[in-house]
């Protein structure tokens, strides 16, 4: 992946035709000169650069390593990739990595899709050192841990050659070898050759298995009181070498989207957060005591020993005063599994564009049903509140918890608008409880359900429901998880 430094080639706009309709007094008019498209700063969305013909050239020059996703808005695989891609972008920013993540809407930018031979979505291309002509296509695993491993390998490391005897003596070397110097001050020597068999299906995962536990210290390094904490933080790090990667996030360096990813506000600094980048579970100290080498080490040991619960905010005093109820990890189960209520919850991230787009419809839904005693419309910031029993992997995630005994959980996959939400609450609620009775033993629907499918206003919801129930979504003692609705 060692591309050469090449000049960035600007895309040229083709001329649409001749100026005028015929020859002038001095002969035929010449075609106008082709113009270069004006360059623009690429906008960002969830920490990801949004590229177009006008912004690609500048992005390549400004970022020595650029991983670009070519996607289509209608592509289901692209939608599934989106949360992993956003998480990786936030973590790379937190670690001040030189690698940036970007994306291109392929159908909206057909020239770029054609230029880079994009024939399917999503397609990921890696641009190194501004190499516009020969990006490398990435075909590996598409998850946070692998994206971060790719970023760590992306840039060439510094190296040198020496034959100085004093250096051989200093590092205890007696023959030609390779020595790796890590930034933490550790030296490793590897001489000779070693043979290992790595099957293709496992080698990528083996090489991507880096340190998955990260401890982040959020500070504002413009403040002397914050800078004083760095010594203790660094002092604790060597004890966890190979287990935990220690990262300092400077709030004075445009890291707002990193704060959003962790559900933090700038005024909460200095503070610690622990994250496992494979599970994306986040942990926070039980109190806001001083950040010292002792407190940092104690926090790490507690998390690694399973003694710390995942992050959860305190429930605000007015959590149930608005039409949309505000849930946190600590009051989630009490509300979601209330047997007397039908509870519809939006799990969101403050930085998520799709969450922001559907917010008005969610507020309108809550207002519409605010006087229904048996219906609760709620939301939970999943970046600041982790749920052990119900992990959230994409945003927004809409989940319906029907009233009644048992811990029934139904993931909503339908259209995100007031009308469809209302159909679920008005009709789907009752049909969910009747679904098992409306099925024949062989999984086919009987005459009662046939009538509903032909005449009921919410027939499309029932059809999706039947697919889920027929597929064996019946709950056991531990509750059931079903999908309701469907998006192509």
DSSP string, 432-487: HHHHHHHB-TTS-B-HHHHHHHHH-TTHHHHHHHHHHHHTT---BTTBEEEEES--
Q: What is the pLDDT of residue 263?
A: 80
Assess whether 224 and 348 both reside in one domain.
no
Last residue of one domain, picked from the residues 127, 154, 181: 154
pLDDT tens profile 52-109: 999 998 999 888 888 899 999 888 888 888 888 888 888 777 766 678 899 999 999 9
187-190/213-219 β-pairing: unpaired
Assess whether 148 and 236 both reside in one domain.
no
Assess whether 331 and 293 both reside in one domain.
no
- The verdict on residue 27 lying in a domain is no
- Of the candidates 349, 186, 386, 184, the one whose C-alpha atom is nearest the C-alpha of residue 274 is 386
Assess whether 101 and 239 both reside in one domain.
no
Last residue of one domain, picked from the residues 154, 169, 192: 154
What is the DSSP code (8-state) at residue 426?
Answer: I
Cα angle 37, 257, 414; round to 5 = 85
What is the DSSP code (8-state) at residue 43?
Answer: P
- The verdict on residue 14 lying in a domain is no
- The verdict on residue 164 lying in a domain is no
- The verdict on residue 460 lying in a domain is yes
Catalytic residues: 75, 78, 352, 355
Residues of the chain below pLDDT 50: 1-30, 155-159, 184-209, 433-488
Assess whether 442 and 396 both reside in one domain.
yes
Number of domain units in the chain: 3
Domain range for 143: 44-154
Assess whether 141 and 245 both reside in one domain.
no
- The verdict on residue 177 lying in a domain is no
DSSP string, 155-215: SPPP------HHHHHHTT--SS-EEEE-TTS-EEEE-S-------HHHHHHHHH----EEE
- The verdict on residue 371 lying in a domain is yes
Assess whether 288 and 376 both reside in one domain.
no
Q: What is the pLDDT of residue 203?
A: 32
Chain-centre distance of CA 148, in angstroms? 12
- The verdict on residue 165 lying in a domain is no
Assess whether 299 and 343 both reside in one domain.
no
408-412/397-401 β-pairing: antiparallel
What is the reported pTM? 0.48
User: How far apart are alpha carbons 478 and 446 in whole angstroms?
Assistant: 29
Assess whether 342 and 241 both reside in one domain.
no
Structure tokens at 200: 């293709």
User: How far apart are alpha carbons 352 and 367 in whole angstroms?
Assistant: 23
Assess whether 274 and 369 both reside in one domain.
no
Assess whether 479 and 369 both reside in one domain.
yes
- The verdict on residue 75 lying in a domain is yes
Assess whether 371 and 449 both reside in one domain.
yes
Q: What is the pLDDT of residue 190?
A: 38
The domain that contains 112 carries what CATH number? 3.40.30.10
Q: What is the pLDDT of residue 102?
A: 93
């Amino acid at each position: 992946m060692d591309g050469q430094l090449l000049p960035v080639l600007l895309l040229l706009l083709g001329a649409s035709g001749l100026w005028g309709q015929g020859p002038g007094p001095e002969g035929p008019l010449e075609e106008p000169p082709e113009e270069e498209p004006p360059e623009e700063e690429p906008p960002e969305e969830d920490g990801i650069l949004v590229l177009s013909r006008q912004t690609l050239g500048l992005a390549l020059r400004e970022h020595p390593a650029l991983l670009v996703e070519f996607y289509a808005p209608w592509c289901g695989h692209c939608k599934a990739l989106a949360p992993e891609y956003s998480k990786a972008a936030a973590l790379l920013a937190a670690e001040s990595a030189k690698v940036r993540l970007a994306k291109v809407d392929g159908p909206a930018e057909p020239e770029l899709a054609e230029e880079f031979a994009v024939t399917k979505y999503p397609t990921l291309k890696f641009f190194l050192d501004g190499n516009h002509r020969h990006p490398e296509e990435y075909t590996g695993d598409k998850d946070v841990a692998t994206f971060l491993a790719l970023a760590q390998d992306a840039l060439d490391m510094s190296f040198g050659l020496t034959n100085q005897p004093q250096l051989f003596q200093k590092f205890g070397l007696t023959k030609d070898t390779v020595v790796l110097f890590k930034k933490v001050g550790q030296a490793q020597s590897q001489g000779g050759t070693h043979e290992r068999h790595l099957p293709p299906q496992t080698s990528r995962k083996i090489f991507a298995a880096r340190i998955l536990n990260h401890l982040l210290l959020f500070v504002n390094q413009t403040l002397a009181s914050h800078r004083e904490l760095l010594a203790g933080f660094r002092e604790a790090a060597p004890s966890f070498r190979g287990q935990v990667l220690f990262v300092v996030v400077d709030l004075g360096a445009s890291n707002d989207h990193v704060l959003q990813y962790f559900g933090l506000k700038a005024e909460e600094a200095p503070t610690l957060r622990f994250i496992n980048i494979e599970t994306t579970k986040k942990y926070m100290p039980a109190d806001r005591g001083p950040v010292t080498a002792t407190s940092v080490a104690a926090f790490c040991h507690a998390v690694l020993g399973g003694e710390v619960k995942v992050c959860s905010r305190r429930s605000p005093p007015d959590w149930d005063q608005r039409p949309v109820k505000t849930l946190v990890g600590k009051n989630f189960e009490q509300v979601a599994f209330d047997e007397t209520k039908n509870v519809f919850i939006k799990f969101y991230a403050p930085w998520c564009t799709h969450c922001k787009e559907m917010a008005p419809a969610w507020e309108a839904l809550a207002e519409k049903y605010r006087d229904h005693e048996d219906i609760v419309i709620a939301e939970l910031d999943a970046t600041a509140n982790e749920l052990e029993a119900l992990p959230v992997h994409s945003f927004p995630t809409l989940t319906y918890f029907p009233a009644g005994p048992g811990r029934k959980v139904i993931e909503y996959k339908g259209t995100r608008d007031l009308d469809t939400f209302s159909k679920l609450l008005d009709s789907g609620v009752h049909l969910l409880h009747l679904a098992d009775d409306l099925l024949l033993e062989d999984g086919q629907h009987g005459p009662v359900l046939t009538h509903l499918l032909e005449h009921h206003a919410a027939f499309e919801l029932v059809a999706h429901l039947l697919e889920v129930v027929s597929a064996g979504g019946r709950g056991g003692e531990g509750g059931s998880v079903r999908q309701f609705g469907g998006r192509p």
